[in-house]
Amino acid sequence: MNRRALLAGNWKMHMNIAQAVELAQAVAKAGSGCTDRDVMLAPPFTALASVAQALQGSNVLLASQNVAWEAQGAFTGEIAPPMLTDIGVRMAIIGHSERRQIFLEDDAMINRRLRAALAFGLTPVLCIGETLRERESGATFRVLEQQLRGALQEVSADRAEQIVLAYEPVWAIGTGKTATTAQAQEAHAFLRGLLADMFNKKVAETIRILYGGSVKPDNIDELMAQADIDGALVGGAALKIESFERIIRFQ
């Protein structure tokens, strides 16, 4: 199946509103001629509304960096799905390794966030990946299966087709280390086979699986040439238009 590529920029805890608007406008301009692929930006929460306005009329998708599992209520510090859709957010990153490692979000919490996103019409970008210790001990596939099955509990095949999956080996995020293309492709192929086992072949062939972990202009072409890599979730290289534009325009 010919899946449409998705190039996503996760800005993490960077950018004030003026900087975010300027970069978003530059990304919209850079991606305006790319009709065969999707571009997504995930600014910090404070800049979402302003970036939504800056992206009006463009084809760039807007994402949040997380999402709560309830529509409203006494959840200090959380942002509800309807609050996001209200300002034009269409996607939500869920289960990023920084949420798992630093903020101790477990598979059960990530599952609740993901199901809430789906219920309110947000496309979840579900992040999974192993640590260096897990890879070196040969546990990569076991960890990926546990995270994927945990996050997709009680999700139907129809709903699963709407999800974007991001494989991010924790040891390659922000370290300058990148999984080799063979390592990345091997993990992506494993996940696609696992999706077929969990749901069916159609779901497995529909879901886009992104690679994340020190994606840069000089490795994007080789990564995107792999059969099961459908895009990239980009951190540091998404903060400058020069590097992110080259990633958007992979060949």
The set of catalytic residues is 96, 168
Please report, as a single letter, which amino acid is at residue 44. Answer: P
Sign of the Cα torsion 21, 29, 52, 64 reads: negative
Tokens of 17: 């509103």
Which letter does DSSP use for residue 4 in this model?
P
Q: Name beta bridge partners: 210.
A: 166, 231
d(CA 240, CA 210): 20
Task: Report the candidate in 133, 69, 60 with the shortest Cα–Cα distance to residue 95.
Answer: 69
What is the H or E stretch that residue 203 is in? Answer: helix 201-206
Q: Where are the beta strands (DSSP E) in 81-122?
A: 91-94
Identify whether the C-beta of residue 195 lies closer than 8 Å to the C-beta of residue 160: yes
